[in-house]
Amino acid sequence: MIAQVAQNAGVAGRVDGVLLDLGVSSPQLDQAERGFSFLQDGPLDMRMDPNSGMSAAQWLAAATDKEIADVLKRYGDARHARRIARAIVAARQVEPILTTGRLAEIVSAANPAWEKGKHPATRSFQAIRIFINRELDDLQQFLGQVLEVLRPGGRLAVISFHSLEDRIVKRFMRDQAKGDRFPAGVPVTQAQLQPRLKLLGKAIRPGADETESNPRARSAVLRVAERLA
């Protein structure tokens, strides 16, 4: 990933800053044929790279109701994951689920508790997309390499859009700012802990003006840290 790219470019350990924007791009959401949107009917794909891996339609056609429920709960925190999963399995037995519109209908009908201001299929679509693209695995792999790329004093900025991403980023930055771990009771100085990052301020969230002009920014969280020597 990023370490190899930096190595090939001859800039490993010399980069001034890295900005990681974890959001799905607006064109991906707005183009129905990409299969991400529950607001527009299109092929049920959801792959970032449509030429690689299994599509959402293929996975939903083969997964058990337990596997579907686990994904909905783990990656979307769907409150009625089991009920939605059973509805998906029942619907596919009647006819294949091949479009985003059809999946959104099934999820909406099976979801009795709609969150205010959110489409009832939001969390389910998020969960399936994250699973299909291995987004959290890729994020953890990226964070595991990014310190090899930054120079001392270089900065890492990450914009996340849901709690699972933000939790991973927050934990990574916090742990790297604390440094090495020692058994309880072992006397060590701050220098001996060898922290690798310095946290720069608190998490930043969009204000009312920004969310009004760009509603898709409403869940964004920006965290920034600086690479130490």
Sorted by sequence, the CB contacts under 8 Å of residue 77 that are 6+ apart come out as 123, 163
Q: Which amino acid is at 57?
A: A
Has 28 been labeled as part of a binding site?
yes
Q: At what angle do helices 81-94 and 65-76 cross, to 10 degrees?
A: 140
* 90: alpha, beta or left? (left if phi > 0; alpha if psi -120 to 50): alpha
Tokens describing residue 16: 């001034």
For residues 169 and 143, the answer to whether their CB atoms sit within 8 Å is yes
Residue 21 annotated as binding site = yes
Q: Which residue has the tokens 């999946």?
A: 103
Nearest in space to 150 (alpha carbons), one of 44, 61, 57, 228: 228
Region at 111 (left for phi over 0; alpha for psi -120 to 50; beta for the rest): beta
State the Cα–Cα distance between residues 78 and 76, nearest whole angstrom: 5
DSSP 8-class letter at 215: G
Name the CA radius of gyration of the chain, rounded: 21
* Dihedrals phi, psi of 202, to nearest 5 degrees: -90, 170
Detail the residues annotated as belonging to a binding site for S-adenosyl-L-methionine: 21, 28
The binding site consists of 21, 28
